[in-house]
Amino acid sequence: MANIDTIKRRYGIVGRSPILENALQTAVRVAASDLSVLIMGESGVGKEVMSRIIHDNSARKHQNFIAINCGALPEGTINSELFGHVKGAYTSSAGDRKGYFETLDGGTIFLDEVGEMPAQTQTYLLRVLENGEFIRMGSNKVQRTDVRVVAATNRKLLERVHDGKFREDLYYRLSTVPIEMPSLRERPEDIYLLFRYFANNFAEKQNIEAIQLEEEARWLLEQYTWPGNIRELKNVAERMSILSEKRELSAVDLAELMPQLMKRNLPAIRREDQPGASANNLQERDILYKVLFDMKEDMTQLKNLIADLIRSNNLSVRDVERVQSLAMPGNYPAAAAEIDRFAADAGNVATEAYDLRDLDVNPKVSRGGAYAGAGSGSRPRSNQSEYDSGDPIIVDHDMHRAYAESEVVDEDLSLANAEKELIKKALRKHNGRRKEAAAELGISERTLYRKIKEYDVTE
């Protein structure tokens, strides 16, 4: 049995991947027999080279070898090409013609893309594999041949068998010894070796200096999926050797010459595709969206109500829109002090028209200092210029203590409670008429019945 390293040098195979060497060892071992071999793998992984290795290391190595692409032969002529025909078999058949199985008697036929073979041809091929017999098209004479068949496919033949597009008995007859050729993304340790091999060969032919890659550029090259496999990598190495002015490329240079390296097609799972997803999940999501929209509408109405109350009670506020958009008081201490005083004196609105502009808001002193003269009956005087001066704001410890001791109420974010309240609201709006309530909620009446029972909603 030939040495694997010798095989690599003879056929120009570059790589040290264990899965590649395993495929080569299988091919060399099966070569000495006459068993049928099915080579599987993506386009561009070197299936035809593997078929040559099998033929050249077999007892038939001095006989003829031919590679036939079954997908490239028209359905009307593939039988004639493989098995031959006699005169008059077709309208244009002026004489007898031998097929490949007859002319290559004693040799090897490599049937590439065997998964594309028509159903009728599959029947003829099965007979050749089982008995070594075939019949020319238009003839009734049975002939014999001794041809070894090595087939290859980039399709999943078992799937085509299940779909009724490929004969099951032919599949098992062809795949006596299956050989799986690894794709380039399955052997990333070989990518840079192959790149250097192709770049050096091309540079030698063109009499130019070979290009090299920096470490980051090598990593970028190894992360690419290479859908075209070795054929695509060879094209990239030759293209960069011509287009690049530099002889040592960085990751940036590589990305500019080959933008597809930066693309990533990561898989994503949609919620509808996850196990357990159903129409009820989608209905519950719609209910949640409706709850959120209603909450937003309620907040808008509340803001408008506060603004109307300020205007109708002659309450003067420096800027109503500014009050409506105030952030949390902890972020704006001066605004917090003003709002606190407004809230404390809100009860005096009925007996006294209270004007916020009369407040003495002095950001330079504490709240206690600002009301130092209030006990003597004097009204705090206005200090508008100091309020707008933009000087540093000092907040006393009492104000921090008041916020620290305040009760924090957690908002109920339960989806079930939100659904329950929305169902109650819809039933009240339509006076208990479930059909109309279901239409308002955007769900089916049956789902509404189930939700009422689940949440124990009393109408």
Do the beta carbons of residue 39 and residue 154 sit within 8 Å?
no
The answer to whether residue 368 scores a pLDDT higher than 80 is no
Choices 3.40.50.10490, 1.25.40.10, 3.30.300.130, 1.10.8.60: CATH for 186-262: 1.10.8.60
The answer to whether residue 341 scores a pLDDT higher than 80 is no
Q: What are phi and psi of 379, to 5 degrees?
A: -80, 135
| Highest mean pLDDT out of 101-110, 259-268, 402-411 | 101-110
- Name the token pair of 180: 């799986």
Quote the crossing angle between the two packed helices 415-429 and 445-455, to the nearest 10°. Answer: 120
Radius of gyration from C-alpha coordinates of the chain: 42
Domain boundaries, the chain: 4-182, 186-262, 279-312+409-459, 320-404
What pLDDT sits at residue 425? 87
CA angle at 274 for the pair 272 and 276, rounded to the nearest 5°? 95
The answer to whether residue 116 scores a pLDDT higher than 70 is yes
| Highest mean pLDDT out of 214-228, 247-261, 289-303, 377-391 | 214-228
The answer to whether residue 340 scores a pLDDT higher than 60 is no
Calculate mean pLDDT across residues 209-227: 89
End-to-end CA distance of the chain: 86
Pick 274 or 19 by higher pLDDT. Answer: 19
CA angle at 201 for the pair 196 and 206, rounded to the nearest 5°? 125
Coil, strand or helix at 427? helix
What pLDDT sits at residue 197? 93
Average pLDDT value for the chain: 77
pTM of this structure: 0.55
Pick 388 or 136 by higher pLDDT. Answer: 136
Superfamily grouping for domain 4-182: P-loop containing nucleotide triphosphate hydrolases (3.40.50.300)
Residue keyed to tokens 């009820």: 280
Query: pLDDT class for 322, splitting at 50, 70, 90?
Result: low
Calculate mean pLDDT across residues 333-350: 50
Quote the crossing angle between the two packed helices 4-11 and 18-31, to the nearest 10°. Answer: 90
Residue 143: beta bridge partners?
134
Work out whether strand 37-40 and strand 65-69 pair parallel, antiparallel, or are unpaired.
unpaired
Percent of the chain with pLDDT over 90: 27
Give 121-169 pLDDT, tens digit per residue.
Answer: 999 999 999 999 988 888 888 899 999 999 999 988 899 999 889 999 9
Residue type for position 367: R
What pLDDT sits at residue 256? 84
Do the beta carbons of residue 315 and residue 356 sit within 8 Å?
yes
Do the beta carbons of residue 48 and residue 152 sit within 8 Å?
yes
Q: Where does 279-312+409-459 sit in CATH, by number?
A: 1.10.10.60
Calculate mean pLDDT across residues 175-179: 92
Query: pLDDT class for 329, splitting at 50, 70, 90?
Result: very low
Residue 249: beta bridge partners?
213
What pLDDT sits at residue 220? 86
Report the alpha-carbon distance of residue 234 to residue 198 in Å, rounded: 6
Q: Dihedral of CA 197/202/207/212: which sign? A: negative
Q: Dihedral of CA 250/255/256/257: which sign? A: positive
Pick 355 or 53 by higher pLDDT. Answer: 53
CB atoms within 10 A of CB 112: 21
Residue keyed to tokens 């340790």: 189
Q: Do domains 4-182 and 186-262 have the same CATH topology?
A: no
